[in-house]
Amino acid sequence: MNKRPGCNKDFRGGLNRREFITGCVSCLAFASTSTLSFKKLLVFDEPSSTRARARVRLIFSHIPPDRPTWPNIGYDYEGRKKELFSKLEKSCPNIEFLPVTLQNPEQAEKLLQSDRDIDGHLVYILGIWSGVPRLIAFSGRPTILVDDLYAGSGEFLINYAAAKREGLKVVGVSSSRFEDVIDALKSFECMKKMRSSTILDVTDSERLWGDPKVIKEIFGTEVRQVYSPEINAAYKQVDNAQAGQWAKTWVQNAEKVVEPHQEEIRKSGAMYLAMKNLLEKYNAQAITVDCLSLFYGGKLQAYPCLGFFQFNNDGLVGACEGDLPSTMMMLMITYLVGRPGYISDPVIDTSTKQIIYAHCVASNKVFGPKGPPNPYHIRSHSEDRKGAAVRSLMPIGEMTTSIEFNTERKEIVMHQSKSVANIDEDKACRTKLAGEVIGDIDKLMSEWDRFGWHRVTVFGDHRKSVENISTLLGIKLIAET
């Protein structure tokens, strides 16, 4: 049994939180945990003024109103444009809409030649047959085609089908639910944020897990490698009292602490602050650490699990094992739906039609930083029974969406499940969320050689959002079930 020098209490095996706080000399009283939050780098909760808004060309397409067509001759196109523009601006404060009316292919050609620095095109088909939607859709630029129902339907259906068959970067919305247009537009916001983001990869390996050039090419996100001496230097420079405050916060909020003693949790607080300082230094929004190799090799002073837990709760990204493809998916899903993803090593149980998402770290705010927390336990890291990690007891009865990216194939794989249990099993990683697979569980076992063991899971039914952004990025999406 390990005891911290200067303390007469053994802190392994069912730590009492009051005893921890009393005995930890570095845990100073503080007025509010909000003073320790990481608001400076919160990525999706920033006012739009602090981050450049996505610039979207809003195209209203229709022929002149004096001609018979759908919706009808003499239709009030101008009134409809004003109504839609007002609703779009109100619903999408992080998008700068640049409206224009196009009535024929020649006007569309001129616009495409002159448009610069545009993040995407939104084509609202208010009437048929202008010839505009096809030219925009086949321009190769990210485009959302919207059928204003009973007005643009024929031209929408023909041109969306043709664009989809050609594999173009075109999303189609044909719905009476205006929110479906807004959901599609969130892809443009996400893409803009990804292009202005940086991922830190803390590893001494020269061969990274995933190709940074492909990540830059497809998502526009920079990857910066940081070597172990730099994170260790940052670790030595942190304020020990502040590290103790973070330890106190995590213990206070935990349902229980099982194996780790107070010093291990304080070291986790110091590692969190070291990573936080690196994110601030490089203006990065995500960090992944080659934790197993570095810790097993004596090159890392503490596991980063609790730090990742905090980042993911706060709207940033902390990702395991130097896995760049998974880190990229976590960043994308955070921007896209405002909820954290978490990496896991899944286990499949065909007898129960369940997939178990297992890892030693996960958020306990699965519905986003402003959502309700779920219980968690502070445990040791499972494989080597050292350090401090998290078992998150996540909500049951919720739809989940899991994705992964392959940088060699430039593809995304996706499946869904409904959360049914938090598995209590000493073997393998601490967090074990079981999900009942939606679809064919036997098919689910057919893609692991091409995408690897890891998957990134987020709470909610985000199938359509993932489909939309994959299309607009030009990435093939594979359904696993």
Question: What is the arithmetic mean of pLDDT over 47-55?
Answer: 63
Say what the pLDDT of residue 2 is: 34
Question: Cα separation of 285 and 344, whole Å?
Answer: 21
Task: Band the pLDDT of 43: cuts 50, 70, 90.
Answer: very low
pLDDT tens figures, 334-375: 999 999 999 999 999 999 999 999 999 999 999 999 999 999
Q: Delimit the domains of the chain by residue range.
A: 17-35+196-479, 53-194
Closest CA to 96 of 87, 88, 107, 104: 88
Question: What is the arithmetic mean of pLDDT over 190-219?
Answer: 97
Question: What is the arithmetic mean of pLDDT over 24-45?
Answer: 36
User: What's the length of the chain?
Assistant: 481
Question: Cα separation of 188 and 181, whole Å?
Answer: 12
| 269-293 CB burial, b ≥16 within 10 A, e <16 | bbbbbbbbbbbeeeebbbbbbbbbb
Which tokens hold the place of 78? 């101008």
- The hierarchical CATH code for the domain 17-35+196-479 is 3.20.14
Say what the pLDDT of residue 5 is: 30
Question: Cα separation of 357 and 354, whole Å?
Answer: 10
CA 373 to the chain's CA centroid: 18
Say what the pLDDT of residue 65 is: 97
Say what the pLDDT of residue 17 is: 37
The torsion defined by the Cα of 84, 89, 94 and 95, in degrees rounded to 10, comes to: 50
Which tokens hold the place of 395? 């909500």
Read off the pTM: 0.90
Say what the pLDDT of residue 52 is: 80
CATH fold of the domain at 53-194: Rossmann fold (3.40.50)
Say what the pLDDT of residue 29 is: 33
Question: What is the arithmetic mean of pLDDT over 164-182?
Answer: 98
Say what the pLDDT of residue 362 is: 96
Task: Band the pLDDT of 51: cuts 50, 70, 90.
Answer: low
Cβ of 179: how many Cβ atoms within 10 Å? 9
